[in-house]
């Protein structure tokens, strides 16, 4: 064999080994992600209390907020088809939704935005600044940005936006009438205790821990509503150990 030919063969073999390595690595990564998805425990579609309804789309919850005839959403699920079906069953007209408050812009929170033709979409300014082209394509209208601590209105109800970065740059928790805290993917609930969201899906878990300490100081909350881990009605027990 000519030395040049031998070099080519060696290079091809080396490339094949690298490719196999990458293939194996992504296979393991996909398996680990599937295992994490299997731990999610979304609520079934139905009323949660205090004018709030959970809508389940596969492995994630979005929520409907009501104040009289006024309707708003926290997040917008994975797909327009399945969210549309769940809303029909819950007798909710997508055209009646006035506001959508996004906890962040991952695909499983913005997937059905196109259904809500009359809604204004609210998103944290730092989240909007970091939106990729793929996420931008999911927005039927330009979203309205807000800053940390801003109060938004639904009829006579107030929704305070608390920017809690970590899962994404502008992840947001929403406090509805000072009672219910919607946390998106800012935390997980394990045996009714708050833990950080899975690190595999977080941008910066250390930063998320700081955000959780901030949330732990809030007073008067009677319900935590997560996107993937159901709800808790015992705030102080859930956040025990998190306040600095």
**Residue nearer to Zn ion on the CB measure, 155 or 230:** 230
Query: C-beta of 168: minimal distance to Zn ion in Å?
Result: 7
Task: Tell me which residue of 159, 143, 141 sits closest to 67, measured CA to CA.
Answer: 159
Query: C-beta of 30: minimal distance to Zn ion in Å?
Result: 17
Q: Which two tokens stand for residue 133?
A: 């082209």
Strands 157-163 and 172-176: antiparallel
Binding site for Zn ion (CB under 5 A): 106, 185
Query: C-beta of 200: minimal distance to Zn ion in Å?
Result: 11
DSSP state of 13: H
Name residues whose C-beta falls within 8 Å of residue 165's C-beta, 6 or more positions apart in sequence: 126, 171, 203, 204, 207, 208, 211
The CB-nearest residue to Zn ion is 106
How many CA atoms does the CB half-sphere of 25 hold within 13 Å?
6
The Cα 99–Cα 215 span in angstroms is 24
**Residue nearer to Zn ion on the CB measure, 67 or 185:** 185
**Residue nearer to Zn ion on the CB measure, 105 or 115:** 105
Strands 97-101 and 70-74: parallel
**Residue nearer to Zn ion on the CB measure, 86 or 185:** 185
The Cα 10–Cα 8 span in angstroms is 5
Query: C-beta of 183: minimal distance to Zn ion in Å?
Result: 11
The Cα 53–Cα 49 span in angstroms is 7
Positive or negative, the Cα torsion across 230, 232, 233, 235? negative
Sheet with 172-176: strands ordered across = 151-154, 157-163, 172-176, 180-184, 223-226, 231-232
Strands 70-74 and 60-67: antiparallel
Query: C-beta of 17: minimal distance to Zn ion in Å?
Result: 35
Query: C-beta of 189: minimal distance to Zn ion in Å?
Result: 15
**Residue nearer to Zn ion on the CB measure, 67 or 108:** 108
Query: C-beta of 163: minimal distance to Zn ion in Å?
Result: 15
**Residue nearer to Zn ion on the CB measure, 86 or 127:** 127
**Residue nearer to Zn ion on the CB measure, 33 or 93:** 33
């Amino acid at each position: 064999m000519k030395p040049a030919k031998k070099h080519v063969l060696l290079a091809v073999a080396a490339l094949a080994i690298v490719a196999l390595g990458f293939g194996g690595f992504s296979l393991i990564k996909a398996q680990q992600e599937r295992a994490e998805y299997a731990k999610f425990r979304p609520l079934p579609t139905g009323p949660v209390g205090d004018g709030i309804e959970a809508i389940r789309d596969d492995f994630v919850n979005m929520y409907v907020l009501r104040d009289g005839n006024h309707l708003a959403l926290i997040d917008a699920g994975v797909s327009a088809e399945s969210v549309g079906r769940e809303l029909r069953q819950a007798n909710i007209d997508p055209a009646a939704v006035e506001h959508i408050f996004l906890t962040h812009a991952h695909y499983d929170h913005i997937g059905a935005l196109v259904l809500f033709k009359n809604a204004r979409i609210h998103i944290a300014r730092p989240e909007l600044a970091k939106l990729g082209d793929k996420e931008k394509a999911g927005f039927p209208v330009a979203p309205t940005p807000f800053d940390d601590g801003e109060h938004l209105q639904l009829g006579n109800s107030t929704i305070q936006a608390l920017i809690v970065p970590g899962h994404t740059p502008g992840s947001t928790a929403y406090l509805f009438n000072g009672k219910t805290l919607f946390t998106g993917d800012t935390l997980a609930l394990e045996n009714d205790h708050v833990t950080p969201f899975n690190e595999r899906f977080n941008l910066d878990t250390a930063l998320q821990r700081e955000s959780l300490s901030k949330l732990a100081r809030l007073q008067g909350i009677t319900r935590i509503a997560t996107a993937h881990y159901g709800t808790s009605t015992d705030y102080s027990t859930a956040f025990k150990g998190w306040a600095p």
